[in-house]
Amino acid sequence: MNKNTNPDTHPTQNTKPVIGITIGDYNGIGPEVILKALSNSHILRICTPVIYGSMKILTRYRKLLELKDWFIHAANNAKQISHKKTNMISVLGNKNFDINPGILDPEAGEMAFKALQSAVEDLKNGDIDAIVTAPISKSNIQSDEFQFPGHTEYFTDAFGQKESLMLLVADELRVAVATGHMPLVEVSKKITRHLIQSKVQILLKSLKQDFGILKPKIAVLGFNPHAGEDGLLGDEEQQVIRPAILEMKKKGDLIYGPFPADGFFGQGEYKKFDAVLAMYHDQGLIPFKTLAFERGVNFTAGLPIVRTSPDHGTAFDIAGKGLADETSLREAIFLACDISKYRKEMSEIENEALKISTK
């Protein structure tokens, strides 16, 4: 990894999306999966990667894990990146860090936040087109500046949205969750007709805007075992979920359910739908990760920007051992590229149509 003092940047000639990649908690597997994913030369043909973190940390991990070396351009800021190389923006200057794989360290939490903050600032300024976030420790990153359950809530707040939607994606499998990072005991209180309809509307818009599905077909899961068994095992389905679905159906939307979650996934019913809305985190993520753990991507739907991440956490138990699989992070980069390009194309088409209509 070397520093290029005279990079061939030519930003005006670049047509590839510029993808910011935050380092996450550097004592987890983030640095390893970033190094492994970006060592694939195909990445540079489809996007310009910009890592936010520390060159020193990546260099140490490369040596620790005996990973192959390749050229990374050290840029002072996003306006100095090279579109022919992988780029690194060091967010805490030349500060030295002690890497301790698998160990919670406040400095790693500070680095994770600064990388996130810098990337968000560049995204707001239009210097990058999307962000891929490597895993953070949700407890270690907490500070006066970061008081959120996770990335999803941070991005929702940073871009001025009242709500967003956690959407897990793997090829044609898409699973969203109505409620995200919250204790299970609180979920029942949050499940309302308004919440379900709001989340479904975000999901419908994203399927059209980000995935090009003109008439999405969505399945909604029940909340209780066996979807309540006609009220025997709970009344959320009868009182909340089913009425919400019926109201949306009257508007012409293809919304179905509520389905019992176990049979729905066990019998492969999910294959008949463009997306599934689960009621809570584990109800959606357990089947999703069982079916698509290595290639799954977490996409934050409902935001004016594009943010993806791998569908796994810091994996402190295998950090620094060379065992981490980079597939999910690589897929997160690919999805960020695809959605960024699709949104740009659709925006250009809409602008052209507007010009024609006003002539």
Overall average pLDDT of the 3-26 stretch: 71
**Strand locations in 179-330, DSSP E?**
217-221, 254-259, 275-278, 297-301, 307-310
What's the pLDDT at 228? Answer: 77
**Strand locations in 39-85, DSSP E?**
48-53, 72-74
Q: Is the pLDDT of residue 353 over 60?
A: yes
| Average pLDDT for the chain | 92
Are residues 120 and 133 in contact, defined by beta-carbon separation less than 8 angstroms? no
Overall average pLDDT of the 107-136 stretch: 97
| Torsion angle of the four alpha carbons 2, 50, 316, 336, in this order, in degrees rounded to the nearest 10 | -150
Q: Is the pLDDT of residue 164 over 70?
A: yes
Residue 8 Ramachandran class (φ > 0 left, ψ -120 to 50 alpha, else beta) = beta
Q: How many whole angstroms separate alpha carbon 196 and alpha carbon 323?
A: 39
Overall average pLDDT of the 58-75 stretch: 91
How do residues 296-327 score in pLDDT, each as one tens digit? 999 999 999 999 999 999 999 999 999 999 99
How do residues 184-226 score in pLDDT, each as one tens digit? 999 999 999 999 999 999 999 999 999 999 999 999 999 999 9
Does pTM top 0.85 for this prediction? yes
Domains and CATH numbers, the chain: 1-161+303-359 (3.40.718.10), 163-296 (3.40.718.10)
